[in-house]
Every structure is written in C-alpha cells, then in structure tokens.
Amino acid sequence: MTDGIGLTGARILLKRLRNVMARGGPAQMRLDQTVKLIAGEMVAEVCSIYLLRAGEVLELFATEGLKKEAVHKTRLRVGEGLVGDIASHARPLALADAQHHPQFAYRPETGEEIYQSLMGVPILRAGRVIGVLVIQNRTRRQYSEEEIETLETVAMVLAELVASGELVSQDELRPGDGIALLPIRLDGITLCPGLARGVAVLHQPTLQLLNLVAEDPAREVERLTAALSEMHSSIDALLSAGDIAGHGEHFEVLETYRLFAQDQGWRNRMMEAVQSGLTAEAAVQKVQNDTRARMREVTDAYLRERLADLDDLANRLLRHLLGADVPSTRRLPDEAIVVARAMGPADLLDYDRTRLKGLVLEEGSQNAHVAIVARALDIPVLGRCQDLMQKVGDGDPLVIDGDNGTLFIRPSDDLLQAFTESMRQRLMKREAYEAIRDLPAVTTDGIKVDLLINAGLLMDVPQLAATGAAGIGLYRTEIPFMIAHEYPDVTRQTEIYSKVLDGAGDLPVIFRTLDIGSDKVLPYWKRDPEENPAMGWRAIRIALDRPAMLRQQLRAMMNAASGRKLSVMFPMVTEIAEFDSCRRLLDLELQRQARRNIPLPSEVRVGAMVEVPALLWQLPELLPRVDFLSVGSNDLQQFLFAADRDNPAAAGRYDTLAPAMLRALAEVARAASEAGKPLGLCGEMAGDPLAAMALLCLGYRALSMAPPRVLPMRATIRGLDFKGLRGYWQTVRHLDGPSLRSALLDYASDHKIPL
C-alpha cells in the first residue's frame, strides 16, 4: 500500500481518537478535532462527518478540507448523492473517480469539485445508520480493504459520541404524530394471538463501548475466550429452566440457538478482529456490524430472522466482556409489554415471565425463533410494526390486539374502556366455547361437520384436546425442517412424526409431504433465486427432482406409524403423472420395509391437494387413484386469480366467495361425491364462518383450520339450520357481483348465527 494507513498507523489513529473522545468540552468541538485527526492520519485532504437528522436528512456536521461555511448548511436526503447512497444501503463505498459516478450530487457551497476520489462508511448504532464518515483526495486514489476497515472501526468510535444525544437529540429523530402524546395506532402481523395491556419496556441490549483499541492483543484473546466460555455456561443454565425445558419445536429452537453460540466461524472472525488491534468487545461489535451490513441485502425472510439470534448472542457476549449485569431474570413492572426491533429466543427468556404480558417487534415473522418460543409461553406477539422503536417511549401505556394485528400506543380512556369490554366479551365467549367444546359440530337439523386443525409444530398437537377437534387435517411437515440447523435425518423425522401420532391418539392425522420453496426456505439448503418462487420450484416438484429426500420422509412416516393408520398427502399436484410418480416412490418404500421385516402401518391412505387450477380438469383421472382429496384454499385462490397472496397490493383484491372460486370448489365437491372419495378443505377459508356456510352448501363436510378458529366455528355450525341455509343459498348463488359475502352476512345477521 503506497498511500494511506497500515496496521500500525491504524492503531495509532484509534488511540489518538480515543483520547479525543475522552476529553471534556462540547461534542461539536470534539467532532471538529476528530475530522482533522482522521484526515491527517489517513493521508486525505478531506474528512467530513454527516449526521442523520429528522426527516431522513444527512447534515454536514464537521469537515476538514471542505469550506467551513458549508457546515450545518449542506444537507442530503438519504439516498441522494454518494453520501446518501452509503446511508441508504448501510455499506462502504470507495471510488477513485467519484465525480463521474451517476450518484454524485454536486453542492457548490462545499468546494468539493477539486476532489477526485472518495471513501465513505456508515456510522452504525444498534444496526441503524446514524451518520456517514467520508474522506476525499484530490488525485485518483485506489483505497485498500485495510483502509476501508480502518475507517469502519473509526466510525464505531464516532457512533458512541453521536448516540449520546449531544449533537442530535434522540427526540428530534422521533417522528411527529401531531401532538406527541396523542394515541397512535400501528398495524402489524399476528405472530401469537391474544389481547394484552401493559406499559412499554424497551428492549435495548446495545451497550456503550469505551475501549476499542487493544493495548495487549494477547490479553484480549484471553478475555474473549473467557467470555465465550461464561456465555455458553449461562445459556445452558437459561435453557434448563423448568417452564421451557423439555420437548417440542420451541426446545429445538433453543438448541439451535445454543449451536449458534458455539459456531467456530463466528468465533474465528472475532479472533481475527482482535488480532488486527481491536479490544475483544470492539471485535464482537465489528463482526456484528459486518454481518448486519451483509444481511441488509438478503431478502430471504428465514435468513433475516436468524440475524436476530446473532444480535442476541453478540449483546449477550458483550455483557460478559464488559462485566455488565447479566441477571438470571430481568425485572419488569407488574404488567409489561416488551418492545424491540428484533429479538432472539434467549433474550425473551431473560424476562420475568410472570409479569410479561406481551411482545411487539418492529421486524419478525411467523417462523422467527422468538415467536415460536413465545407461543410455547402463550404470550401475545405482534411483528412488523413499522417505525415501532421511534414511536414508543419507555413506560408508554400499550394495548395489543393480537387477534387483529394492531398495537395502540398511549391509548385514550375510550379505547381502554373498549379494551376492557373486549376482554370481558372475550372471556364470555371463551366460557361459552368451553361449554360446547366436547359437543359435536352438528347443525340444528343434524348435518355433521368434522372440524380439524392445521398443525406444523408439536406444540400445536395439544390443541386437539383443548378445542375438541376431530383430528389434524393438515400437518405441515416442512416447519420442523425450517427451524432445524441441519437437514433432519430419518431418525429425527421418525421421532417427530411419532410424537404427533402419539399426541393425536385415535384421532386421524394427515401428513402433507414437504412443501418447501416459495416463501418456505431451508437455511442449510443453497438454491438459486427465482423470479416467481410461488409458482416455481417447490413442493412436489422438488420432491420428484430429489426422490431420495421424499423416500426418506415417507420411510420416517411409515416407521412412526408402525401398526397405526397413516395418511399421506402430496402438495402442489399439477399433473396426474406427478401423483403417479409420488405413489410409486411410496410403494417402493412399502416394499423396502416389508423386505426388511419392519412393521408396516395398519393402513396407508394416499391423497392429493387440489391447489393448482390445472388439476380441476383432471379430476376424473385423478380420483380413481387417490383415497381422499383436500383443497388447499390459499394457493388455489392465489393461482386462480393470479394474485400473489404475499403482495399487499393484490392479496385482498379477490374474495374466496367470488363466483369463480365457488364454481371451482363446487366442481371438486361434485366430482369427489360421484367418485365416493372423502373430501376436505384446509386453509384460511375453512376458518371463516361465512365461507364455511358456503362450503357446507357446496357439499364440504371436513374443514381444517388454525386451532383458535375451531371453537368459534363449532358455535357457528351448531347455530345453523342447514335446510334453511341451503334454501337461501339456492336463491343467491347466481347473483351478479364480485362476492356472495354480503348476502351470507345478511343471512347470518337475520338468523342470529354466531360468527
């Protein structure tokens, strides 16, 4: 490296910078001293610091080399110019010819037109960009990787000064909502249903790092090694708590978390950072910042969720390194709702579960590890609440409506009264549902309907008893694959399926073979990105291209069902030949088991899911081959209307009670009835009371739904007079219009049917 800074120079710069940060005096003065120091040590004519202000604006706060009158006057929007681009992507940028870059934005008041090259890095705090640090040179300079890393480390030091609030108040960055104390409503997604009321407790694990430059690298290696050992021991103790230890997916999630903590790659990257001259705690922070920057570009939801686990581990390790309080249980007010950008599963377990009433996340998904653990603890959880951390203050009163995916911040008295009434009504409904839990789902004139549950986790199986469901109409086998740290072998799969069957007892269970692909990814399985994954390589298409995978799964199911009935269903069947191929693989496994004298299931029933519209015109050929059919209403609807159900702009555009959908469902019911084959329906439609009324009229007698919908649906069924409903249906089913929903709602209202 002919220009710039080497390893020794980087250490000297960091030590001098630490001295500047440690001095007293105004923060602006220290910032001015900092840019002068960096420019000198990094052989740059310009060093500038831009800080984020309200309205997503980056303001020039300090400079060495640009015109001083531009300070506090030059502003760039996030995404505008090279500085704005660095902020919007949270990644470094190094250019030998910056002025000819398409993103270059000229600001005449700065005088920067004479500078050719530019290198900038984001100033990050808790994973968020709070500013940008830039150096510039007159000549075209090729900045090295070492220089970029040095500037990133310098930015870590600056982040502590910026985050103090002396330069930009944290209140300024909180978006205004009229009068600040007015109630605010945020919409999110339900990760665990329920209602909760409490005060906000901000989950802020970020710790202040005071020492970033190592005086003795060997000593820092010892400190990091000792802290890792302490952390492993504390995690072991945490995960052995009586109310969380045991079996089930939540326990597997925690075991996966434990393996993350022991990952050698993570450890090695931190050790390399220590060897470069950082303290152990600075090394932990740098590795996590690097990981966050890379993950910003990842669109895969599952992989992004794993970042929360890594954040959790990094902060846990920092607490051990800094000697910060690592309590066995974090104290909470009597009724607390924890608010976080994201959270790992072990962090949730740090809180006093007797006082924890709910959890709200700015990020999060149904498969987030923390959500799975929260479900095991029966804690209402909301996710994807945009700008949550900017709008909620510590101690703010909160109300979670987990049933409708809504958070109320600083709720009004009227809203609190409504919440109290909702809780009362909820309790009354729960008591009413409990009273009919063990009663059959039969209409007033004797039409019986089997109400089953959809499941995908072992913790769902006890819902059979809790709801009085008639069985599991859909067991999604892919979810245990998605939360495991490696592909489950036949032994592990057999264990899972055995526990499902054991938990179901004499009740039927329909296992759907792996429906991976689309939005359901396996973190340990690398695959090329797809333009339209929902209609791409997924489900049965993957299984037939990877027959060994399907055979192993079928083998595990047969082992688990030894001496018991086994029902297997293939998803995403598009052509008869696909079903035939899957059936042949199943027969090969049966023959294999027989040759080895392995006990077989007492009966094997094989079915197909009707999800792809093309199958509607192949039912006469398909029905003689299957033992049962199940309509997958979610995918059938999205493919029938060519409307991506994960796209908010299209998902709600078409109704399940639209004429086209109802005619497709009617055709499946007619064909199955004529062939004498059992027919069910699973998906969100099954749990919708108005849709269920239509399905009964079409001939469906088995509906599989989310467990919380079973008891309300039983109340709806028991309140129906089928003969009267059928007569009304005949009068409205040919009405013009986009949906029959309003007509069915009128009938339910007129006849006081519980919905």
Q: Answer yes or no: is pLDDT of 574 > 80.
A: yes
Q: What is the pLDDT of residue 177?
A: 46
Phi-psi group of 90: left, alpha or beta (phi > 0 → left; psi -120 to 50 → alpha; rest → beta): left
Q: What is the mean pLDDT of residues 295-323?
A: 68
What is the rounded CA–CA span in Å between residue 522 and residue 528?
A: 13
- Using the predicted structure, report yes or no on whether residue 271 has a pLDDT greater than 50: yes
Top-confidence residue, 350 or 79: 79
Q: In which band, very low, low, confident or very high, does the pLDDT at 500 lie, cut at 50, 70 and 90?
A: very high
16, 37 contact by CB (below 8 A): yes
Question: Does residue 324 carry a pLDDT above 70?
Answer: no
Q: State mean pLDDT over 662-685.
A: 95
The structure tokens listed for 125 are 């705090």
The SS3 assignment for 225 reads: helix
Q: What is the pLDDT of residue 46?
A: 94
From residue 80, alpha-carbon distances to 106, 129, 384, 641, 738 in Å are 11, 15, 27, 39, 44
In the predicted model, what is the mean pLDDT of residues 487-506?
92
- For residue 341, the SS3 value is coil
63-89 tens-digit pLDDT: 999 999 999 999 999 889 999 999 888
Closest CA to 31 of 64, 79, 9: 64
Mean pLDDT computed over 472-500? 85
Asked whether the predicted pLDDT for residue 347 surpasses 70, the reply is yes
Would residue 369 show up in a list of annotated catalytic residues for this protein? yes
Mean pLDDT of 271-291: 83
pLDDT digits (tens, 9 = 90+) for 13-52: 877 887 787 777 788 998 999 999 999 988 999 999 999 9
Q: What is the 3-state secondary structure (H, E, C) of 726-743?
A: HHHHHHHCCCCCCCCHHH
Predicted confidence at residue 2, as pLDDT, reads 40
| pLDDT classification of 744: cutoffs 50, 70, 90 | very high
Averaged confidence pLDDT in the chain: 84
Instruction: Give, in order, the Cα–Cα distances in Å from 268 to each of 262, 265, 273, 302.
Output: 11, 5, 9, 24
Which of 192, 582, 682, 697 is flagged as catalytic?
682
Element (H or E) spanning 432, and its range? helix 413-436
Q: How many CA atoms lie within 13 A of 257 on its CB side?
A: 35
Does the pLDDT of residue 570 top 60, yes or no?
yes
Which pLDDT tens digit goes with each residue over 172-208? 655 444 334 457 888 888 888 888 899 998 886 556 6
Structure token digits, residue 293: 């920057």
Residue 429 burial by CB count (10 A; 0-12/13-18/19+): exposed, middle or buried?
middle
Q: pLDDT tens across 584-620, in order? A: 999 999 999 999 999 999 999 999 999 999 999 999 9
pLDDT in tens, 444-454: 999 999 999 99
At 305 the pLDDT is 58
| 486-495 pLDDT, tens digit each | 778 899 899 9
Residue 703 has pLDDT above 90, yes or no: yes
Whether the pTM exceeds 0.75: the reply is: no
Pick 522 or 460 by higher pLDDT. 460
Question: Can you tell me the mean pLDDT for 228-255?
Answer: 66
Give dist(CA 300, CA 283) in Å, integer: 27
> How much is the pLDDT for 471?
96
Q: Is 250 a catalytic residue?
A: no
- Catalytic pick from 369, 385, 582, 697? 369
pLDDT over 50 (residue 94): yes
- Considering only CA atoms, which of 473, 571, 455 is closest in space to residue 516? 571
Q: Residue 364 — pLDDT band, cuts 50, 70, 90? A: confident
Model confidence at 270: pLDDT above 70? yes
Q: Give the three-state DSSP class for 566.
A: strand
pLDDT digits (tens, 9 = 90+) for 106-130: 888 888 888 999 999 999 876 678 8
